Protein backbone atom coordinates (compact mmCIF):
# COMPACT_ATOMS: atom_id res chain seq x y z
CA UNK A 1 0.00 0.00 0.00
CA UNK A 2 2.94 2.36 0.62
CA UNK A 3 3.89 2.09 -3.03
CA UNK A 4 0.34 2.61 -4.32
CA UNK A 5 -0.13 5.63 -2.09
CA UNK A 6 3.15 7.34 -2.99
CA UNK A 7 2.58 6.68 -6.70
CA UNK A 8 -0.95 8.14 -6.59
CA UNK A 9 0.26 11.30 -4.89
CA UNK A 10 3.36 11.72 -7.08
CA UNK A 11 1.38 11.08 -10.26
CA UNK A 12 -1.21 13.67 -9.25
CA UNK A 13 1.45 16.30 -8.64
CA UNK A 14 3.16 15.52 -11.95
CA UNK A 15 -0.08 15.68 -13.94
CA UNK A 16 -1.24 18.82 -12.17
CA UNK A 17 2.10 20.49 -12.95
CA UNK A 18 1.85 19.44 -16.59
CA UNK A 19 -1.74 20.67 -17.00
CA UNK A 20 -1.26 23.86 -15.02
CA UNK A 21 -3.67 22.88 -12.28
CA UNK A 22 -1.18 22.87 -9.46
CA UNK A 23 -3.13 25.52 -7.56
CA UNK A 24 -6.16 23.20 -7.46
CA UNK A 25 -4.28 20.55 -5.45
CA UNK A 26 -4.00 22.31 -2.09
CA UNK A 27 -7.72 23.02 -1.68
CA UNK A 28 -8.44 19.43 -2.81
CA UNK A 29 -6.07 18.06 -0.16
CA UNK A 30 -7.61 20.15 2.61
CA UNK A 31 -11.13 19.27 1.51
CA UNK A 32 -10.42 15.52 1.25
CA UNK A 33 -8.73 15.37 4.66
CA UNK A 34 -11.71 17.10 6.22
CA UNK A 35 -14.14 14.79 4.45
CA UNK A 36 -12.32 11.72 5.78
CA UNK A 37 -13.03 12.90 9.32
CA UNK A 38 -16.66 13.81 8.54
CA UNK A 39 -17.18 10.36 7.03
CA UNK A 40 -15.64 8.55 10.01
CA UNK A 41 -17.56 10.61 12.57
CA UNK A 42 -20.75 10.06 10.59
CA UNK A 43 -19.92 6.37 10.73
CA UNK A 44 -19.37 6.47 14.50
CA UNK A 45 -23.07 6.71 15.37
CA UNK A 46 -24.23 3.77 13.22
CA UNK A 47 -21.14 1.79 14.18
CA UNK A 48 -21.96 2.22 17.87
CA UNK A 49 -25.59 1.29 17.26
CA UNK A 50 -24.92 -1.85 15.20
CA UNK A 51 -22.00 -3.17 17.19
CA UNK A 52 -24.10 -2.62 20.33
CA UNK A 53 -26.88 -4.69 18.81
CA UNK A 54 -24.32 -7.22 17.57
CA UNK A 55 -23.02 -7.67 21.13
CA UNK A 56 -26.57 -8.31 22.36
CA UNK A 57 -27.06 -10.86 19.57
CA UNK A 58 -23.73 -12.46 20.42
CA UNK A 59 -24.57 -12.90 24.09
CA UNK A 60 -27.94 -14.37 23.13
CA UNK A 61 -26.17 -16.95 20.97
CA UNK A 62 -27.66 -15.64 17.72
CA UNK A 63 -24.38 -14.87 16.00
CA UNK A 64 -23.09 -18.39 16.55
CA UNK A 65 -26.37 -19.81 15.22
CA UNK A 66 -26.01 -17.72 12.05
CA UNK A 67 -22.43 -18.78 11.60
CA UNK A 68 -23.46 -22.40 11.95
CA UNK A 69 -26.29 -22.02 9.40
CA UNK A 70 -23.92 -20.65 6.77
CA UNK A 71 -21.13 -23.05 7.65
CA UNK A 72 -21.20 -25.19 4.49
CA UNK A 73 -20.45 -22.17 2.29
CA UNK A 74 -18.10 -20.44 4.70
CA UNK A 75 -16.00 -23.54 5.34
CA UNK A 76 -15.23 -23.70 1.65
CA UNK A 77 -14.31 -20.03 1.40
CA UNK A 78 -12.49 -19.70 4.70
CA UNK A 79 -11.03 -23.10 5.54
CA UNK A 80 -8.57 -21.57 8.02
CA UNK A 81 -11.30 -20.13 10.27
CA UNK A 82 -12.38 -22.55 13.03
CA UNK A 83 -16.06 -23.61 12.70
CA UNK A 84 -17.28 -21.97 15.94
CA UNK A 85 -15.33 -18.73 15.51
CA UNK A 86 -17.28 -15.45 16.00
CA UNK A 87 -15.86 -14.14 12.70
CA UNK A 88 -18.25 -16.41 10.79
CA UNK A 89 -21.43 -14.91 12.27
CA UNK A 90 -20.21 -11.38 11.66
CA UNK A 91 -19.33 -12.21 8.05
CA UNK A 92 -22.81 -13.65 7.44
CA UNK A 93 -24.45 -10.51 8.84
CA UNK A 94 -22.17 -8.36 6.68
CA UNK A 95 -22.93 -10.24 3.47
CA UNK A 96 -26.68 -10.30 4.19
CA UNK A 97 -26.79 -6.54 4.87
CA UNK A 98 -24.77 -5.87 1.71
CA UNK A 99 -27.14 -7.93 -0.43
CA UNK A 100 -30.11 -5.93 0.81
CA UNK A 101 -28.35 -2.65 0.03
CA UNK A 102 -28.10 -1.75 3.73
CA UNK A 103 -24.59 -0.31 3.49
CA UNK A 104 -24.88 1.44 6.85
CA UNK A 105 -25.47 -1.84 8.62
CA UNK A 106 -23.01 -3.83 6.51
CA UNK A 107 -19.91 -1.82 7.44
CA UNK A 108 -20.07 -2.32 11.23
CA UNK A 109 -20.59 -6.08 10.79
CA UNK A 110 -17.75 -6.17 8.30
CA UNK A 111 -15.38 -4.37 10.65
CA UNK A 112 -16.39 -6.70 13.46
CA UNK A 113 -15.53 -9.63 11.18
CA UNK A 114 -12.16 -8.09 10.32
CA UNK A 115 -11.37 -7.69 14.03
CA UNK A 116 -12.34 -11.32 14.67
CA UNK A 117 -10.22 -12.51 11.73
CA UNK A 118 -7.33 -10.42 13.05
CA UNK A 119 -7.26 -12.64 16.17
CA UNK A 120 -6.36 -15.52 13.85
CA UNK A 121 -3.79 -13.49 11.93
CA UNK A 122 -0.22 -14.21 13.03
CA UNK A 123 1.24 -11.30 11.02
CA UNK A 124 0.01 -7.99 12.41
CA UNK A 125 0.03 -5.30 9.75
CA UNK A 126 -0.31 -7.77 6.87
CA UNK A 127 -3.64 -9.10 5.62
CA UNK A 128 -4.25 -12.83 6.06
CA UNK A 129 -5.71 -14.81 3.15
CA UNK A 130 -9.08 -14.84 4.91
CA UNK A 131 -9.02 -11.08 5.44
CA UNK A 132 -8.01 -10.40 1.84
CA UNK A 133 -10.77 -12.68 0.55
CA UNK A 134 -13.35 -11.12 2.83
CA UNK A 135 -12.37 -7.59 1.77
CA UNK A 136 -12.44 -8.60 -1.89
CA UNK A 137 -15.98 -9.92 -1.35
CA UNK A 138 -16.93 -6.55 0.10
CA UNK A 139 -15.53 -4.65 -2.86
CA UNK A 140 -17.93 -6.60 -5.08
CA UNK A 141 -20.96 -7.46 -3.01
CA UNK A 142 -23.92 -9.32 -4.53
CA UNK A 143 -26.76 -6.82 -4.84
CA UNK A 144 -30.36 -7.93 -4.45
CA UNK A 145 -31.57 -4.38 -3.82
CA UNK A 146 -29.38 -1.53 -5.12
CA UNK A 147 -31.24 0.93 -2.89
CA UNK A 148 -29.25 4.08 -3.70
CA UNK A 149 -29.41 3.58 -7.47
CA UNK A 150 -33.16 2.96 -7.36
CA UNK A 151 -33.60 6.16 -5.37
CA UNK A 152 -31.54 8.12 -7.91
CA UNK A 153 -33.55 6.69 -10.81
CA UNK A 154 -36.80 7.52 -9.06
CA UNK A 155 -35.51 11.07 -8.57
CA UNK A 156 -34.79 11.24 -12.33
CA UNK A 157 -38.45 10.35 -13.01
CA UNK A 158 -37.83 6.85 -14.39
CA UNK A 159 -41.27 5.22 -14.89
CA UNK A 160 -39.96 1.97 -13.38
CA UNK A 161 -36.94 2.93 -11.29
CA UNK A 162 -36.32 -0.65 -10.12
CA UNK A 163 -36.31 -2.25 -13.60
CA UNK A 164 -32.49 -2.56 -13.45
CA UNK A 165 -32.74 -4.89 -10.46
CA UNK A 166 -32.29 -8.15 -12.38
CA UNK A 167 -29.45 -6.83 -14.51
CA UNK A 168 -27.69 -5.49 -11.42
CA UNK A 169 -28.00 -8.86 -9.70
CA UNK A 170 -26.43 -10.69 -12.64
CA UNK A 171 -23.62 -8.17 -13.10
CA UNK A 172 -22.83 -8.15 -9.37
CA UNK A 173 -22.75 -11.96 -9.34
CA UNK A 174 -20.11 -11.83 -12.10
CA UNK A 175 -18.11 -9.25 -10.14
CA UNK A 176 -18.31 -11.35 -6.98
CA UNK A 177 -17.22 -14.50 -8.79
CA UNK A 178 -14.20 -12.66 -10.18
CA UNK A 179 -13.38 -11.21 -6.74
CA UNK A 180 -13.41 -14.69 -5.20
CA UNK A 181 -11.39 -16.26 -8.00
CA UNK A 182 -8.84 -13.44 -8.08
CA UNK A 183 -8.34 -13.38 -4.31
CA UNK A 184 -7.84 -17.13 -4.40
CA UNK A 185 -5.57 -17.30 -7.45
CA UNK A 186 -3.47 -14.24 -6.73
CA UNK A 187 -2.57 -15.12 -3.16
CA UNK A 188 0.57 -16.94 -4.22
CA UNK A 189 1.87 -13.77 -5.84
CA UNK A 190 1.77 -12.08 -2.45
CA UNK A 191 3.75 -14.27 -0.08
CA UNK A 192 3.29 -13.69 3.62
CA UNK A 193 6.21 -12.63 5.80
CA UNK A 194 8.12 -15.49 7.50
CA UNK A 195 6.49 -16.95 10.61
CA UNK A 196 7.31 -14.87 13.70
CA UNK A 197 9.53 -16.69 16.18
CA UNK B 1 -43.53 -9.70 -7.47
CA UNK B 2 -40.03 -10.76 -6.48
CA UNK B 3 -39.03 -7.13 -6.67
CA UNK B 4 -41.77 -6.08 -4.25
CA UNK B 5 -40.78 -8.82 -1.84
CA UNK B 6 -37.12 -7.78 -1.94
CA UNK B 7 -37.99 -4.14 -1.42
CA UNK B 8 -40.23 -5.03 1.50
CA UNK B 9 -37.42 -7.06 3.07
CA UNK B 10 -34.97 -4.20 2.74
CA UNK B 11 -37.52 -1.79 4.24
CA UNK B 12 -38.40 -4.02 7.20
CA UNK B 13 -35.05 -5.63 7.93
CA UNK B 14 -33.55 -2.93 10.14
CA UNK B 15 -36.59 -2.07 12.27
CA UNK B 16 -37.34 -5.76 12.83
CA UNK B 17 -33.71 -6.52 13.74
CA UNK B 18 -33.64 -3.62 16.17
CA UNK B 19 -36.75 -4.87 17.96
CA UNK B 20 -36.31 -8.61 17.49
CA UNK B 21 -32.73 -9.18 18.63
CA UNK B 22 -33.10 -7.48 22.05
CA UNK B 23 -36.47 -9.21 22.62
CA UNK B 24 -34.96 -12.61 21.89
CA UNK B 25 -31.95 -11.79 24.08
CA UNK B 26 -34.30 -10.92 26.98
CA UNK B 27 -35.88 -14.35 26.77
CA UNK B 28 -32.38 -15.83 26.94
CA UNK B 29 -31.74 -13.81 30.14
CA UNK B 30 -29.06 -11.62 28.58
CA UNK B 31 -28.38 -8.30 30.36
CA UNK B 32 -29.38 -6.45 27.21
CA UNK B 33 -28.60 -2.87 28.08
CA UNK B 34 -25.06 -3.30 29.49
CA UNK B 35 -24.24 -5.63 26.58
CA UNK B 36 -25.46 -3.01 24.11
CA UNK B 37 -23.37 -0.26 25.71
CA UNK B 38 -20.25 -2.41 25.69
CA UNK B 39 -20.64 -3.19 21.99
CA UNK B 40 -21.48 0.43 21.19
CA UNK B 41 -18.28 1.59 22.88
CA UNK B 42 -16.29 -0.78 20.69
CA UNK B 43 -18.09 0.50 17.58
CA UNK B 44 -17.23 4.07 18.45
CA UNK B 45 -13.56 3.24 18.91
CA UNK B 46 -13.44 1.46 15.56
CA UNK B 47 -14.84 4.55 13.85
CA UNK B 48 -12.07 6.66 15.39
CA UNK B 49 -9.40 4.13 14.43
CA UNK B 50 -10.49 4.34 10.81
CA UNK B 51 -9.78 8.09 10.53
CA UNK B 52 -6.00 8.02 9.78
CA UNK B 53 -6.10 5.50 6.90
CA UNK B 54 -9.18 7.19 5.50
CA UNK B 55 -7.42 10.57 5.51
CA UNK B 56 -4.48 9.04 3.65
CA UNK B 57 -6.61 7.40 0.94
CA UNK B 58 -9.08 10.22 0.44
CA UNK B 59 -6.31 12.83 0.19
CA UNK B 60 -4.48 10.82 -2.48
CA UNK B 61 -7.70 10.31 -4.45
CA UNK B 62 -8.74 13.95 -4.05
CA UNK B 63 -5.37 14.99 -5.49
CA UNK B 64 -5.77 12.58 -8.38
CA UNK B 65 -9.15 14.05 -9.28
CA UNK B 66 -8.06 17.67 -8.87
CA UNK B 67 -4.93 17.12 -10.99
CA UNK B 68 -7.04 16.44 -14.06
CA UNK B 69 -5.44 13.02 -14.53
CA UNK B 70 -8.86 11.37 -14.81
CA UNK B 71 -10.08 13.84 -17.45
CA UNK B 72 -6.92 13.17 -19.44
CA UNK B 73 -7.42 9.42 -19.30
CA UNK B 74 -11.07 9.84 -20.32
CA UNK B 75 -10.04 11.86 -23.39
CA UNK B 76 -7.38 9.31 -24.35
CA UNK B 77 -9.61 6.27 -23.87
CA UNK B 78 -12.86 7.74 -25.20
CA UNK B 79 -12.69 6.48 -28.81
CA UNK B 80 -11.51 2.99 -27.82
CA UNK B 81 -14.13 2.43 -25.13
CA UNK B 82 -16.99 3.70 -27.28
CA UNK B 83 -16.32 0.73 -29.57
CA UNK B 84 -16.70 -1.58 -26.53
CA UNK B 85 -20.23 -0.35 -25.89
CA UNK B 86 -19.36 2.36 -23.41
CA UNK B 87 -20.93 5.73 -24.29
CA UNK B 88 -18.63 8.73 -23.59
CA UNK B 89 -20.98 9.99 -20.88
CA UNK B 90 -20.60 6.71 -18.95
CA UNK B 91 -16.79 6.48 -19.21
CA UNK B 92 -16.15 8.72 -16.14
CA UNK B 93 -18.10 6.13 -14.11
CA UNK B 94 -15.54 3.43 -14.89
CA UNK B 95 -12.65 5.69 -13.90
CA UNK B 96 -14.16 7.16 -10.76
CA UNK B 97 -16.05 4.19 -9.31
CA UNK B 98 -13.20 2.43 -7.45
CA UNK B 99 -12.00 5.78 -6.06
CA UNK B 100 -15.00 7.64 -4.76
CA UNK B 101 -18.55 6.56 -4.03
CA UNK B 102 -19.79 10.14 -3.92
CA UNK B 103 -18.23 11.00 -7.28
CA UNK B 104 -19.67 7.82 -8.82
CA UNK B 105 -23.17 8.73 -7.68
CA UNK B 106 -22.54 12.17 -9.13
CA UNK B 107 -21.82 10.56 -12.50
CA UNK B 108 -25.01 8.48 -12.23
CA UNK B 109 -26.98 11.63 -11.53
CA UNK B 110 -25.39 13.45 -14.51
CA UNK B 111 -26.08 10.62 -16.96
CA UNK B 112 -29.66 10.11 -15.73
CA UNK B 113 -30.31 13.83 -16.16
CA UNK B 114 -28.47 14.14 -19.48
CA UNK B 115 -29.45 10.94 -21.31
CA UNK B 116 -32.63 10.05 -19.40
CA UNK B 117 -33.02 7.11 -17.01
CA UNK B 118 -34.38 4.65 -19.59
CA UNK B 119 -31.90 5.06 -22.43
CA UNK B 120 -28.99 2.67 -22.91
CA UNK B 121 -26.56 5.01 -21.11
CA UNK B 122 -28.96 5.60 -18.22
CA UNK B 123 -29.58 1.91 -17.61
CA UNK B 124 -25.94 1.01 -18.08
CA UNK B 125 -24.70 3.56 -15.57
CA UNK B 126 -27.35 2.42 -13.07
CA UNK B 127 -26.36 -1.23 -13.34
CA UNK B 128 -22.66 -0.35 -13.12
CA UNK B 129 -23.20 1.66 -9.95
CA UNK B 130 -25.22 -1.14 -8.37
CA UNK B 131 -22.89 -3.98 -9.23
CA UNK B 132 -19.54 -2.49 -8.16
CA UNK B 133 -18.09 -0.97 -5.02
CA UNK B 134 -15.78 1.84 -3.98
CA UNK B 135 -12.80 -0.50 -3.73
CA UNK B 136 -10.22 1.92 -2.29
CA UNK B 137 -12.62 3.23 0.33
CA UNK B 138 -13.72 -0.24 1.42
CA UNK B 139 -10.12 -1.42 1.73
CA UNK B 140 -9.01 1.70 3.62
CA UNK B 141 -11.81 1.32 6.13
CA UNK B 142 -11.74 -2.47 6.54
CA UNK B 143 -7.98 -2.97 6.58
CA UNK B 144 -7.40 0.27 8.47
CA UNK B 145 -9.73 -0.74 11.27
CA UNK B 146 -7.34 -3.53 12.29
CA UNK B 147 -4.14 -1.66 11.48
CA UNK B 148 -3.27 -3.57 8.30
CA UNK B 149 -1.07 -1.69 5.83
CA UNK B 150 -0.21 -4.54 3.45
CA UNK B 151 -3.40 -5.47 1.62
CA UNK B 152 -1.82 -8.25 -0.46
CA UNK B 153 -4.17 -9.73 -3.09
CA UNK B 154 -7.20 -7.74 -1.86
CA UNK B 155 -6.43 -4.66 -3.98
CA UNK B 156 -5.95 -6.40 -7.35
CA UNK B 157 -8.90 -8.70 -6.60
CA UNK B 158 -11.13 -5.72 -5.79
CA UNK B 159 -10.11 -3.83 -8.93
CA UNK B 160 -10.55 -6.91 -11.13
CA UNK B 161 -14.00 -7.38 -9.62
CA UNK B 162 -14.90 -3.80 -10.56
CA UNK B 163 -13.66 -4.44 -14.09
CA UNK B 164 -15.72 -7.64 -14.29
CA UNK B 165 -18.76 -5.76 -12.98
CA UNK B 166 -18.41 -3.13 -15.71
CA UNK B 167 -17.97 -5.70 -18.46
CA UNK B 168 -20.89 -7.76 -17.23
CA UNK B 169 -23.03 -4.61 -16.98
CA UNK B 170 -22.45 -3.82 -20.66
CA UNK B 171 -23.30 -7.38 -21.72
CA UNK B 172 -26.34 -7.76 -19.48
CA UNK B 173 -27.86 -4.37 -20.28
CA UNK B 174 -27.39 -5.05 -24.01
CA UNK B 175 -28.97 -8.48 -23.69
CA UNK B 176 -31.94 -7.39 -21.57
CA UNK B 177 -32.71 -3.92 -22.91
CA UNK B 178 -30.96 -3.75 -26.30
CA UNK B 179 -28.27 -1.16 -27.18
Number of domains, chain A: 1
3-state helix vs strand vs coil in chain A, percent to 5 = 75, 0, 25
In a domain, A42, yes or no: yes
- Determine the pLDDT at residue A67: 75
In this prediction, residues A2-14 reach a mean pLDDT of 86
In a domain, A4, yes or no: no
Residue B13 pLDDT > 80 = no
- Determine the pLDDT at residue A197: 45
> Residue ranges of the domains in chain B?
1-45, 50-177
Contact A32 B18 (CB under 8 A): no
Please answer whether residues A107 and A47 qualify as being in contact, where contact means their C-beta atoms are separated by less than 8 angstroms. Answer: yes
Residue A161 pLDDT > 90 = no
Between A and B, how many residue pairs show a Cβ–Cβ distance under 8 A?
A: 368
Residue A184 has, within 13 A of its CA and on its CB side, a CA count of 11
Q: Tens digit of pLDDT for each residue in B25-66?
A: 999 999 999 999 998 998 888 788 878 888 888 888 888 888
In a domain, A148, yes or no: yes
Instruction: Decide if A10 touches B, using CB distance below 8 A.
Output: no
CA-to-CA separations, A6 to A12, A25, B25, B143, B150, in angstroms, rounded: 10, 15, 48, 18, 14
Nearest to B139 by CA among A80, A77, A133, A144: A133
Q: Tens digit of pLDDT for each residue in B74-84?
A: 888 888 888 88
Contact B143 A47 (CB under 8 A): no
Measure the CA–CA gap between A181 and A143, rounded to whole angstroms: 18
Measure the CA–CA gap between B133 and B130, rounded to whole angstroms: 8
Measure the CA–CA gap between B178 and A10, rounded to whole angstroms: 42
Please answer whether residues A96 and B6 qualify as being in contact, where contact means their C-beta atoms are separated by less than 8 angstroms. Answer: no
Contact A156 B112 (CB under 8 A): yes
Residue B90 pLDDT > 50 = yes
**Greater pLDDT, A46 or B129:** B129
Q: Which helix (H) or strand (E) holds A31?
A: helix A22-59
Residue A168 pLDDT > 50 = yes
Domain of residue A77: give its range: 28-189
- Tell me the chain B residues in contact with residue A167 when contact means C-beta distances shorter than 8 Å: 123, 127, 169, 172-173, 176-177
In this prediction, residues A73-80 reach a mean pLDDT of 87
Query: What distance in Å separates residue B86's CA from the closest CA in chain A?
Result: 15
Q: List the single range of A2-6, A19-23, A92-96 with lowest mean pLDDT.
A: A2-6
For B:99-158, CB contacts with A below 8 A are: 105, 108-109, 112-113, 116-118, 122-123, 126-135, 138-139, 141-143, 145-158
For the whole model, what pTM was predicted?
0.81
Contact B105 A148 (CB under 8 A): yes
- Determine the pLDDT at residue A128: 92
The partner residues of A126 in beta bridges, in order of sequence, read: B150
**Greater pLDDT, A191 or A186:** A186
Instruction: Decide if B62 touches A, using CB distance below 8 A.
Output: yes
Residue B8 pLDDT > 80 = no
Residue A196 pLDDT > 60 = no
How big is chain B, counted in residues?
A: 179
Q: Tens digit of pLDDT for each residue in B99-156?
A: 877 778 878 888 888 888 888 999 999 999 989 988 998 999 999 999 999 999 999 9
Measure the CA–CA gap between A118 and A125, rounded to whole angstroms: 10
In a domain, A35, yes or no: yes
Contact A53 B163 (CB under 8 A): no
Amino acid sequence: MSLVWVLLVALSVAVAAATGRIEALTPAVVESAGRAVTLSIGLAGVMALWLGLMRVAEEAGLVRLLGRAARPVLRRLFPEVPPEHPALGAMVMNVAANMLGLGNAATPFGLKAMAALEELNPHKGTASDAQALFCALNTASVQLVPATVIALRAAAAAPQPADVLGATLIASLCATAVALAAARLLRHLYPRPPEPR
Amino acid sequence: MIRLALEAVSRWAIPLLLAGVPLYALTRKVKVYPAFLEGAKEGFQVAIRVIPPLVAVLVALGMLRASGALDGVARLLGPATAALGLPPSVLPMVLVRPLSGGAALGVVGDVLRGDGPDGYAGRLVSVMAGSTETTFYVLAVYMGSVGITRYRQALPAGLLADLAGFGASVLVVRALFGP
